[in-house]
Structure 1
Amino acid sequence: MSKISHSPPRGRWRCGLTALIIPIIFVYFLLASWSASGRDTNKFWPGEELEKLKMIRTHLRKINKPPIKTIKSPDGDLIDCVITHQQPAFDHPQLKGQRPLLEAPPSPVRPSGRRYEKRGGVGVSHEDFQLWKRSGESCPKGTVPIRRTTEKDILRASSTRSFGRKMTSKHIVRRSESSTTGHQHAVGYVTGREQYFYGAKASINVWAPRVANPDEFSLSQIWVISGSFGDDLNTIEAGWQVSPELYGDNSPRFFTYWTSDAYQATGCYNLLCSGFIQTNNDIAIGAAISPTSSYEGGQFDISLLVWMDPKHGNWWLEFGDGALVGYWPSFLFTHLQSNASMVQFGGEIVNSSPDTHTATQMGSGHFADEGFAKASYFRNLEIVDFDNSLVPPSNLQVLADYPDCYDIQSGYNSVWGNYFYYGGPGRNEKCP
């Protein structure tokens, strides 16, 4: 009986201790799981973080359209097959209720007798240049493949507003730039007060350059430009880029961009806002490119053409030999509604290091004078003329903002036409 009479106090003590320990353990595991997951959406969140999460989920619902099929890429990307007229572009007020144009524009043609050939490099076709296609699956006709955006993608950006956008107007070569921080280029360009352009074409060597910091990128692209270098600058851009912040890895990816106000409030990468209208069901903009070039090894390049449809004024993007990717409607722009006043080809990196120069590589990470299979290249540079013909660029000039970090050398031959080698390692003995 004595044992029975003494048990209730011990039980009450244990109950009291349990009542004290359980909340502590709960809070510990809550904080531990929150810290481990970064921002796990299935946990409890403070009010400010919960509000941020709501904004992110609202934004994701806006850009991730309901798919009729989803394909998992070997690199972990999810490619959603979205009905063509339900892609993000058709959220634009001027496109509500419309469908993509079915009439293919007349492609620019070269004068008879002029053609280009490859030398050592292998141009990849649109059917096999992206990693997600190795799954063996494809999107049905009437849909477009769109890389799904995740919460982690948006959380890597500084804000929901900045996600998918270039947040500075210093992206076009300007001779007055003197600071080594920011955007740096090695480009070939054509411009003229009385000369107008209606597109550009080139074959671009694809590499996987090292990007030293998460908020930096390295890209190689074509720019089609009009307007001044003020707030009314219009650009259309297409090429490949490595951007850990945007994509979460260091793979080169096929990308597009546009802006009509010098990167301030309009435009975005890929299909992350209402703008570019995709028509191709085999190419996923923003998906990883494979294969890539290797130093003293195989060389792979992609051929891109951006040009204005003479009939409707829209700007179309073509991959390889005739694969139409889609178009930018002319109403997105001001100056580019009529023509372009400048075309650029080349590389760009972001240097976010205020003290020593970044070690982010451009192109292959090697200087131009190393040449084929070592330096990266653009070949077969062409301009679309007023009569929708492909012509060699007249008075092609080259410029490297910081030639000790990244440089460029141009040339011409009967096989590659106008071409240049470019790139570099970034930080080195001459670029501290």
Structure 2
Amino acid sequence: MGGEFVLRKPRNGIKCRRFDRCNTMRQTETELFSEETRERRRGRRRINGSFFLEMIIFFRPSFSNFLFLSLFILSSSSSSVLTTETEYLSPRNQTLRPLEELNKLKAINQHLSKINKPSVKTIHSSDGDIIDCVLSHQQPAFDHPRLRGQKPLDPPERPSGHNSRGLRPKSFQLWRMEGETCPEGTVPIRRTKQEDILRANSVSAFGKKLRHFRRDTSSNGHEHAVGYVSGEKYFGAKASINVWAPQVQNQYEFSLSQIWIISGSFGNDLNTIEAGWQVSPELYGDNYPRFFTYWTNDAYQATGCYNLLCSGFVQTNNQIAIGAAISPSSSFKGGQFDITLLIWKDPKHGNWWLEFGSGILVGYWPSFLFTHLREHASMVQYGGEVVNSSPFGAHTSTQMGSGHFAEDGFTKASYFRNIQVVDWDNNLVPSPNLRVLADHPNCYDIQGGSNKAWGNYFYYGGPGKNPKCP
């Protein structure tokens, strides 16, 4: 996946892409101007002002493109990334600002060289993803000073009462639909491209959540419908999460369903571990539901990131690509699909492990990443979150869950079922005193319940903008 930056042939009519052609067109411009000047001096022909203006307008973009591409090629000479075309630059970046563009491209390429690691195999997914099979000890986690030179740990003891046996589907992510897999001793990592970073506000903001605080009504547009437990010491959580593909109104919003493991205050020292599925056009460039992880130890300020986009989470599995699309997803009044996630603290070493489905260990968050979570969690949350950017001054129509309210029930509303926590003695137990809360119930709501088949559960979600949610 390394290699030199390659300029591809454009798909649209940019007139000057090659160095020799640019020189030819500049020469043509000079010759035409000289010929016209000679004609005027000899009195043979009177120059038509509008014709001369048209010539300038015709040739000036070519010279600008030549200058821009010269800088573009210079900036790529130090790059180890695959490429993008100028069409990926946002309209804001189309204005010629050579130094600014050069510095931006250098920063992007330097960041890509850190997170895209050499691979022993590359898999192209039907959804456009490129999956790199990276040697386990070369994954981004081991760039961390505390992990440098180490290898992934062996699996820990599972919590008592956890049943890791069950049917394992052959594939539950799109990249594996053709039967491809990564070799033993490697981990599958979704390759980050230049256009992924260009969608972010900045290189430093790429792969991070905006800072926000749950239960604060002015929480920067983040809205929730969650079940939660608090007041005790918690050492993990488990739930089966219904997977949908909600509609997201614009690139700057997302919709997710996840488990939060939380400790500390909702201030600068908040520690969280998060895992679930999300639809995020800004992060991934599409509207597929994708499996994701997240962590922070300072309330989303400077630490942590999604997936493997920084050093932190250590992946141990060669079957699951974090950040890759989940398939299938549920359909309204049709088939239902859910994923079971278990997060728990290893009693022996103190690391927080993640399991997907029936006994598939994904990896772990080392305990040293955290402050409060080195000991235990003080709260566990389960549920949905959306970003409401209030487009055009109205509430967003971004959906949560299935896009239907909780009262619509099975096959219509989204759900969490078999909601449990891990206690101090590494036992999985039903979540005691599970409470439910929706920030804006006219936009997204939640209803809880309990039965023998599903244990503790709730339905949640909604359409966002509607007559009661203007």
Aligned counterpart, 1:143: 186
More divergent stretch after superposition (177-186 vs 30-39): 30-39
1:110 Cα shift?
1.6
- Give distance in 2, aligned partners of 1:363 and 1:38: 30
Which of 221, 226, 229 matches 1:182? 221
The SS at the match of 1:135 is: coil
The alignment status of 1:201 with 2:220, answered yes or no, reads no
Report if the CA contact (8 A) 1:198-1:386 is conserved.
yes
1:26 Cα shift?
5.4
1:227 Cα shift?
0.6
Aligned counterpart, 2:207: 164
- Give distance in 2, aligned partners of 1:126 and 1:331: 34
The alignment status of 1:337 with 2:374, answered yes or no, reads yes
TM-score, normalization by structure 2: 0.81
Report if the CA contact (8 A) 2:212-2:222 is conserved.
no
1:181 Cα shift?
5.5
- Give distance in 2, aligned partners of 1:298 and 1:31: 55
- Give distance in 1, aligned partners of 2:427 and 2:313: 24
- Give distance in 2, aligned partners of 1:267 and 1:23: 51
Which of 397, 419, 423 matches 2:457? 419
Cα deviation 1:214-255 (Å, max 9, x = unaligned): 100000000000011111100000000000000000110000
Aligned counterpart, 2:399: 361
Which of 6, 16, 19 matches 2:35? 16
Cα deviation 1:139-198 (Å, max 9, x = unaligned): 00010000000000000000000000012132x3x2xx2348510000000000xx1000
Report if the CA contact (8 A) 1:218-1:348 is conserved.
yes
- Give distance in 1, aligned partners of 2:436 and 2:257: 15
Report if the CA contact (8 A) 1:315-1:329 is conserved.
yes
- Give distance in 1, aligned partners of 2:230 and 2:355: 23
Q: CA RMSD in A?
A: 2.7
Cα deviation 1:286-343 (Å, max 9, x = unaligned): 0001100000000000000000001000000001111000000000000000110000
- Give distance in 2, aligned partners of 1:18 and 1:377: 77
Higher relative contact order (CA 8 A, sep 6+): 1
Aligned counterpart, 1:379: 417
Aligned counterpart, 1:75: 127
Which of 261, 272, 280 matches 1:243? 280
Which of 20, 28, 39 matches 2:61? 28
- Give distance in 2, aligned partners of 1:13 and 1:168: 58
Aligned residue identity for 2:135: I
The SS at the match of 2:337 is: strand
Aligned counterpart, 1:306: 343
The SS at the match of 1:321 is: coil
1:109 Cα shift?
2.2
Q: Spell out the pairing of 1:245-260 with structure 2 (5 A cutoff).
A: 245-260=282-297
Report if the CA contact (8 A) 1:257-1:268 is conserved.
yes
Which of 254, 263, 270 matches 1:217? 254
- Give distance in 2, aligned partners of 1:278 and 1:38: 31
Which of 135, 141, 146 matches 1:94? 146
Change (3 A) 1:46 1:107: same
Report if the CA contact (8 A) 2:164-2:358 is conserved.
no
Q: Which runs of 5+ in 2 are unaligned?
A: 1-30, 39-51, 69-84
Cα deviation 1:388-414 (Å, max 9, x = unaligned): 111001110000000000000000000
1:18 Cα shift?
12
Q: Spell out the pairing of 1:315-326 with structure 2 (5 A cutoff).
A: 315-326=352-363
- Identity, % of aligned pairs? 67
Report if the CA contact (8 A) 1:127-1:282 is conserved.
no
Report if the CA contact (8 A) 1:229-1:262 is conserved.
yes
More divergent stretch after superposition (31-40 vs 161-170): 31-40
The alignment status of 1:132 with 2:184, answered yes or no, reads no
The SS at the match of 2:192 is: coil
Q: Spell out the pairing of 1:281-300 with structure 2 (5 A cutoff).
A: 281-300=318-337
Aligned counterpart, 2:437: 399
Aligned counterpart, 2:4: none
The SS at the match of 1:153 is: helix
The SS at the match of 1:299 is: coil
1:284 Cα shift?
0.1
Aligned residue identity for 1:97: G
1:23 Cα shift?
8.1
* Number of equivalenced pairs: 406
Aligned counterpart, 1:107: 158
The SS at the match of 1:219 is: strand
Aligned residue identity for 1:105: P
Change (3 A) 1:126 1:164: farther
Change (3 A) 1:108 1:116: closer
